[in-house]
């Protein structure tokens, strides 16, 4: 069974023992589904857990869908903004380009920068991982340098930041937020609530008519006032907390997602049969349950916590 969202308990019960499931499973949010998959003897692969190694890039559904969201976030912002994005020199006067600030430069952030640049905006971007500075520059944007220590975690992800770090970050980024016409926030730390980068006071300092799109809305939001799934207006500033933007571009989101899933499935097949090789980094990395067992250490830890 190949799915986008985790199955319901009833769907799991309908699966044959030995069946294979590939889907986003969000094991940290669906312990009951993971337990049901194990007891039903389903071999389940969680797309979130596909290792981010070169060989698995074509199976990386988190990246393909984040790219769609990053692109669409800028179009949403441009649609709401009562201004042009590009510099225009016309007989009726000169239009200055929109200023876009992107906070968090992972896959979605990079696509947001590229899209805003293509529309002609002046773009600034910031991330707690200075390693992304060259990528930001190569897209024609400016990397915002803050006098803060880097927060590099493992595997190219950000480390969890202290509340003191985030307080100083908010202080330092405040002027950049205040002068932006559009802020796109994408900051995340795997397995944690999204950090708060923009407070209510910072929103109030922005010019009326400015727009924030908070791509972290689903995991708690990077903006203090974000309402997941809604667009609200505070002091004339729109804060768009749209969820799962990939669903708003179904053609290409589906095309990329299906390629991710089929590549993962076909990598498990040898001579027309599914053969699982647990010495393979990809199988070991994203297989959650197999033959009635929880085979993923993270899932095991999760279920032990939920029992306690």
Q: Facing residues of 261 across strands?
A: none
Q: Which is nearer to ligand NAD, 18 or 156 (CB)?
A: 156
* Binding status of residue 187 toward ligand NAD by CB under 6 A: yes
CB atoms near residue 15 (< 10 Å): 19
Q: Which of 130, 190, 220, 228 binds ligand NAD (CB under 6 A)?
A: 190
* Half-sphere exposure at residue 59, Cβ-oriented, CA atoms within 13 angstroms: 27
Structure token digits, residue 255: 């095309």
* Binding status of residue 168 toward ligand NAD by CB under 6 A: no
CA distance 99 to 174: 15
Q: Which is nearer to ligand NAD, 12 or 62 (CB)?
A: 62
Q: Which of 189, 198, 213, 294 binds ligand NAD (CB under 6 A)?
A: 189
Helix (H), strand (E) at residue 90: strand 88-90
Closest distance of CB 49 from ligand NAD, Å = 12
Nearest CA to 177 out of 196, 161, 158 is that of 196
35-94 positions binding ligand NAD, by CB under 6 A:
52, 57, 60, 62-63, 66
* Binding status of residue 104 toward ligand NAD by CB under 6 A: yes
Q: Which of 18, 86, 140, 156 binds ligand NAD (CB under 6 A)?
A: 156
- Residue whose pair of structure tokens reads 């200075």 in the numeric block: 130
CA distance 222 to 128: 14
Q: Which is nearer to ligand NAD, 66 or 81 (CB)?
A: 66
Which residues are near ligand NAD by CB under 6 A? 52, 57, 60, 62-63, 66, 103-109, 126-129, 156-158, 161, 169, 186-190, 195, 197
């Amino acid at each position: 069974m190949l799915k986008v969202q985790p199955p319901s308990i009833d769907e799991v019960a309908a699966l044959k023992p030995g069946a294979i499931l590939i889907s986003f499973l969000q094991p940290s949010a669906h312990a009951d589904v993971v337990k049901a998959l194990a007891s039903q003897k389903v071999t389940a692969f969680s797309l979130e857990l596909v290792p981010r190694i070169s060989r698995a890039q074509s199976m990386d559904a988190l990246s393909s869908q984040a790219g769609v969201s990053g692109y669409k976030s800028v179009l949403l912002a441009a649609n709401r903004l009562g201004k042009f994005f590009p510099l225009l020199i016309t007989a009726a006067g000169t239009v200055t380009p929109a200023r876009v600030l992107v906070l968090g430069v992972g896959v979605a952030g990079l696509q947001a920068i590229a899209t805003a640049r293509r529309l002609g905006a002046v773009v600034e971007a910031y991330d707690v991982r200075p390693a992304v500075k060259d990528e930001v520059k190569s897209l024609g944007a400016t990397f915002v340098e803050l006098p803060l220590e880097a927060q590099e975690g493992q595997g190219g992800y950000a480390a969890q930041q202290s509340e003191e770090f985030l307080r100083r970050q908010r202080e330092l980024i405040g002027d950049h937020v205040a002068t932006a016409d559009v802020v796109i926030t994408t900051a995340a730390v795997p397995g944690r609530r999204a950090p708060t980068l923009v407070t209510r006071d910072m929103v109030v300092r922005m010019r009326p008519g400015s727009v924030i799109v908070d791509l972290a809305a689903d995991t708690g939001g990077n903006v203090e006032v974000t309402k997941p799934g809604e667009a609200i207006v505070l002091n004339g500033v729109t804060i768009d907390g749209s969820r799962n933007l990939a669903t708003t571009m179904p053609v290409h989101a589906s095309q990329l997602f299906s390629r991710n899933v089929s590549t993962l499935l076909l990598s498990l097949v040898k001579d027309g049969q599914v053969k699982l090789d647990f010495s393979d980094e990809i199988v070991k990395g994203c297989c959650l349950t197999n033959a009635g067992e929880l085979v993923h250490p993270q899932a095991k830890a999760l279920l032990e916590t939920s029992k306690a």
